[in-house]
Amino acid sequence: MSVISDLDAVAQPPNTTRSEARKWANPQVLIWAVVLFLCLTPFILIFAVSFGHKVEGAGWVWGFSFANYQRVFVGAEWPDQVTWLYLQRLYYSLYYAVIAAVLAVVTAFPFTYLMTGLSRRAQSAWLVFLLSSLSLSEVFIVMGWDVLLSNRSGLPMVFKETGLTDWLKAVGWFDVLREWGLANPRNVKFKTSVLATVLTMSYLVWPYAVILLYPPLSRLDRSMVEAAHTMGAGPWTVMRTVVLPAMRLPLVGTILLLFVFLLGVYVAVTVFAEPAKQTMSVSVYGAVRGNTLNAPFGAAQAIVLLVTAAIFLVLGQWMNRRTAS
Amino acid sequence: MILRSLSNLFLALSAILLALPIVVVCGAALNSGRTMFFPPKEPTLSRFYEFFIAEPIWVTALGNSILIAFGSAALAVLLAWPVAYGLWAKGGRASQVLAGLGSMPFALPPIVFGVGLGFLWTFLGALGAVWAGIISHATLFLALPIVTISIGLQSIDRSHLDAAATMGATSSVIFRTVILPQTMPYTISGFFFALVLSFNEFIVMFFVSASAYSTVTLQIFNSLRNGYTPTMAVAAITFIVVSLMVFSAVARWGDLPRLMGAEPAKP
């Protein structure tokens, strides 16, 4: 705020009648430079580093080879041998992110619809609660779910104490759970499992889903809903014929944004996914700061992750425009 | 009638599920032993004493968290103002691109931006400096004040500006007397959004700090290997309380539904 007025004063010496455009020039250049430097250089650097290579015991050096990308897509031994290890990690990144994003939006949509029907005061209270939960660190959320799902306390204990485990065994569903990897011989277990990973990730973005669906739903013309009611349409018919068609774009857009956000989730995956099913962000972390220490290779993987995210965002934009026109 | 109670039930269930892990973490903070149990065994408040006063590791981490959160939020607001103002006052393609660039780090997977910032600060020789952490978070959360300030600027009645101009006010006077006061609540909201998210952010700070210093979230993640301790849960409680207070303040003095994108309240 004071920056504006200060810069204005600097750019406009007294007794000059410069045009509006010139008056703007200096502070604009400055702000462009700062934003470009801070927001763009990190991404450019990753791109540049990803062509370098590791030096044993001395970090890494600049270079220009596609070896890192080759390693991501077909493995280091190519063409003698092909490994899909890193593509598999990317696959799990996409897999978890898609399920968690869809799950979050599917459950957040009816919630937001109901919430926007409340009084403005009640909406404020809900928003405070949602924003607090949204801003809560991934670390804390994972900690909470970890306590809830761990085998020594939490849900498995509840299952055992209430006799639910015995009941499951008696009905025979216990074996099904074991096949799904959700039980050990004695009791149900949720760590480590795909279920726990996806649920936690979904929980992580659930408040985001509500916040993103809130503007379009609160601007939805409720009189249309009422009109449909008066004409004798049941609540489900109204939902299907009035609300959902109007909300198609926001729904798809929200799923896409959450999906892109979830591609980068790190803590939840390291804690809840089994080692064989970990994601690309985990191996980026491992390569840049963890035990494998190969910054250029980590950078290459980060670029692959970034391009994947960008493709989906652009796809969303394109769909947006196509539907709009 | 049935539908009404069904929908209330659904809202209540959502609230319970949303609060569940938070409640568990809070409950676990009361344990007197070194391990986390829920429900807590022999409830005590001594873990709070440890977190805030007795254990230097946590006290330093808390200090760093506060410094970085306030510093980066202030910086983000200062950077966001000219961007949002340009977008509002001039519009046009260039301003849109600038605002888009400023929001980019927030929209893309944070781990990628974190790695990039790690490289940037390494080249500038500032890796592990607290000020570099402040600038990193300011950039990451720049999108938030840009959005809130833009909403604030859009809510200004253009006729006020015309009236002021007709009465002979110069642009800087208009800015001081009309624009600034009317957008202040939105600026403050943007500041608090950035503040709270910076307080809780983990992955970017991890790459940028390079283990030279730690914030509370980093410290918790580092301690994960040794298992959970109730002291960590105290940290979590502190964070939740701070968030609740901040957002309640925003809701109290600002128009939270409007900030989140609802139609302006009808008088």
Task: Write the residue in A7, A123, A137 that is nearest to B202 by C-beta.
Answer: A137
Task: Write the residue in A1, A45, A144 that is nearest to B120 by C-beta.
Answer: A45
| B106 in A contact zone (CB under 8 Å) | no
Which CATH homologous superfamily contains domain B21-256?
Answer: MetI-like (1.10.3720.10)
The answer to whether position A11 is within a domain reads yes
pLDDT in tens, A26-49: 777 888 888 888 888 999 998 888
A237 lies in the same domain as A280: yes
For range A56-68, the mean pLDDT? 75
Mean pLDDT is lowest, of A10-14, A303-307, B253-257, for: A10-14
A201 lies in the same domain as A252: yes
CB A190 within 8 A of CB A156: yes
The answer to whether position A171 is within a domain reads no
Rounded to the nearest angstrom, the minimum Cα separation between B11 and chain A is 6
Q: What is the token pair recorded at A88?
A: 């598999």
A121 lies in the same domain as A6: no
Q: What is the CATH number of the domain that holds A107?
A: 1.10.3720.10
> Would you tell me which residues 133-162 of chain B have a C-beta closer than 8 angstroms to some C-beta of chain A?
135, 138-139, 142
Residues of B in contact with A24 (CB under 8 A): 86, 90
pLDDT value at A290 more than 50: yes
| B244 in A contact zone (CB under 8 Å) | yes
pLDDT in tens, B33-47: 555 566 666 666 666
A294 lies in the same domain as A234: yes
A54 lies in the same domain as A106: no
Residue A53: strand pairing partners = A61
A11 lies in the same domain as A134: no
A38 lies in the same domain as A110: no
Residues of A in contact with B36 (CB under 8 A): 147, 153
Most confident of A103-112, A284-293, B4-13, B220-229: A103-112
pLDDT in tens, A166-181: 777 777 777 777 777 7
DSSP characters over A66-102: SHHHHHHHH-TTTTT----HHHHHHHHHHHHHHHHHH
Residue A202: the pLDDT is 93
Q: Residue A61: in which H helix or E strand, if any? A: strand A60-61
Q: Give residue limits of the domains in chain B.
A: 21-256
pLDDT in tens, A191-209: 778 888 999 999 989 988 8
For range A2-24, the mean pLDDT? 45
d(CA B14, CA B12): 5
The answer to whether position A155 is within a domain reads no
The answer to whether position A164 is within a domain reads no
pLDDT in tens, B58-75: 888 889 999 999 999 999
A212 lies in the same domain as A296: yes
A21 lies in the same domain as A125: no
CA distances, A231 to each of A20, A225, A228, B3 (Å): 57, 10, 5, 18
Residue B267: the pLDDT is 42
Domain that holds residue A96: 87-150+191-324
Residue B40: the pLDDT is 63
- Our count of domains for chain A comes to 2
Q: What is the mean pLDDT of chain A?
A: 80
Comparison of pLDDT for B102 and B30, the residue scoring more: B102
- Check residue B170 and report its DSSP letter: -
A310 lies in the same domain as A239: yes
Residues of A in contact with B11 (CB under 8 A): 111, 114-115
pLDDT in tens, B77-119: 999 998 998 888 887 888 888 888 888 888 888 889 999 999 8
d(CA A272, CA A142): 9
CB A6 within 8 A of CB A27: no
Q: What is the mean pLDDT of chain B?
A: 83
CA angle B220, B226, B228 (to 5 degrees): 55
CA distances, B88 to each of A1, B78, B83, B165 (Å): 14, 16, 9, 17
d(CA A11, CA A18): 10
| B226 in A contact zone (CB under 8 Å) | no
- Kindly provide the ipTM of the predicted complex, given to two decimals: 0.82
For range B158-162, the mean pLDDT? 82
| Residue among A148, A142, A217 nearest B16 (CA) | A148
Interface-testing mutation among A24, A113, A137, with chain B (most B C-beta atoms within 10 A): A137
| Interchain pair A214, B85: CB under 8 A | no
Q: How confident is the model at residue B182 (pLDDT cuts 50, 70, 90)?
A: confident
| Interchain pair A137, B200: CB under 8 A | yes
pLDDT value at A118 more than 60: yes
Residue B225: the pLDDT is 66
pLDDT in tens, B210-240: 888 888 888 888 877 666 677 777 887 888 8
Indicate the SS3 state at residue B267.
coil
A39 lies in the same domain as A118: no
Comparison of pLDDT for A85 and B54, the residue scoring more: A85
The answer to whether position A132 is within a domain reads yes
For range A90-94, the mean pLDDT? 90
A140 lies in the same domain as A254: yes
